[in-house]
Amino acid sequence: MRRTVFNEDHEAFRETIRAFIEAEVVPVHDEWLAVGQAPRDFYYKLGELGVFGIRVPEEYGGAGIDSHKFEAVMYEETSRAGVSFGGSGVHVLLGLPYIEMLATDEQKKRFLPKFVSGEEMWALAMTEPGTGSDLAGMKTTAKLSDDGTHYVLNGAKTFITGGVHADRVIVCARTAAPREDDRRFGISLFAVDTKSEGYSVGRKLDKLGLKVSDTAELAFVDVKIPVEDLLGEENKGFGYLGLNLASERWGIAFGAYAQAKAAVRFAKEYVQERTVFGKPVAAFQNTKFELAACQAEVDAAEAVADRALEALDAGELSPAEAASAKLFCTEVAHRVIDKCLQLHGGYGFMNEYPIARLYADNRVNRIYGGTSEVMKMIIAKSMGL
C-alpha cells in the first residue's frame, strides 16, 4: 500500500537527518551510552541543523511549519540507526507546546530564539517522588512573595527526562490549596531558570533503557521565580497539562511504531547473515513465519500512527484517539521487538547489538505518558463504559 503521509520536503529532510546521524551520532553513540547522556554541545548542532525550530514561527528564528511530520521522520531515522538524541525529543515534544499555548508575546521573544538555537534546552517537571499519574496530589509549592514580584518554589521532582542538561524547566507547582469540589485547582506552571539559587539537580537516574537520555531528580529550596516567568494563568495549570496530552501520546505511539519497524529490519539482516546447522537462520520456516507476523503487525501500527499524525496536524486528534494509538502501537512494539530479539538467539541479549538496546528502550513506552492501563480507562470512558 502506498504511504501518503510524507511529501518531497519530508523525504529531503529524511536524507539530511540520515546523513547527519551517520556522520555525527553513529561514530560516538557508544561513548554516549557509556556516560549516560549526549554531550551538551550536541544540541547546538541540532539547533544549527534547524531541528528545534521547524514549528517555531519565523519571527522567532524558526521555519514556521505547523506540522509534526518532520518530528515523525526524526523518530523513524533515529530508530532505524539504533541511536538516541537524548533529551532533544522532550525539548520539542513537551517544551514547545507549552510555550506556544501559554507564553505571552514578551515571553516568546525571550524564550523562543534560544529554544531554536539550542542555547536553552527545555524539560517538563510534573512527577514527584510520591505522585505519578495522580498529578493533583503534587506537594511542590510556589508561594507569591509579599511584594508580588516573585514566587518562592519549594519541593522535588523525579523522572525528569532532559533534567541534567536543561536550562529551563517547566515546573508544575501548587500556588493555592485544592478546593473541596476540585482537587485539581491550584496548580500553576513556571518556566524556571535552572541557574536560579536553590535549584539543584540530584541523581542522574540509572534506567533500564534510554541510557542516552539524561533523566534526573530535581530539588527546589526557596527558588525565586520572577512573576514574569509564570506560564498562563495562576491556578489553572492542571487544565493546561491536559491540552498537550494528545500530542505527547501521539509521539510515544509513533516512536514505538518506528522502533518496531527498526526491530524487523535488524532481525531480517541478522537471520540472513547468521548460519545454523549449515544454512542461514532465514531459511527456516519458523523464522519466515515469525518475521512475516511481525511485518504484518508493523504495517498495522504504521497505519494507526500515520492516521493519528494526520489528525494531530489537522487539530482533530481527540484524547481517546491518542490513547488508542498509544495503546496499540506500544503493545505492538512490545510483541514485535521481543520476537525479533528471540530470532537473534543469545546475541540478542548482548548490548552490542541494537536489538538488545531497543528491547530495553521500548519497555517504558507502556508506562510514561500514561500507562497502558490508563489508556484503556480513557478509551473505555469514550465508549460510554
Residues 6+ apart with CB under 8 A from 58: 64
Query: How far is residue 225's CA from residue 230's CA, in Å, rounded to a whole number?
Result: 8
Task: Match 514580584 to its residue by C-alpha cell.
Answer: 149
Angle between helices 354-362 and 319-343 (to 10 degrees): 150
Grid cell digits, residue 44:
547546538
* CA distance from start to end of the chain: 35
d(CA 317, CA 315): 6
Alpha-carbon distance of 277 to 257, in angstroms, equals 33
Phi and psi at residue 286, in whole multiples of 5°?
-60, -40
- Range list of β-strands (E), the chain: 122-125, 141-144, 150-161, 168-174, 187-193, 199-204, 215-226, 230-231, 275-276, 279-280
- Cα 165 to Cα 352: distance, rounded to the nearest angstrom: 26
In order of 57, 68, 74, 325, 341, the CA distances from 21 in angstroms are 26, 20, 10, 28, 24
Task: Identify whether the C-beta of residue 215 lies closer than 8 Å to the C-beta of residue 201.
Answer: no
Kindly write down the DSSP assignment for every residue of 57-115, as one continuous string. Answer: -GGGTS-----SHHHHHHHHHHHHHT---TTHHHIIIIIHHHHHHH--HHHHHHHHHHH
Give catalytic residue positions: 248
Alpha helices in 274-318 (DSSP H): 285-313
Rounded Cα distance, 17 and 21, in Å: 6
Whole-angstrom distance, CA of residue 279 vs CA of residue 181? 69
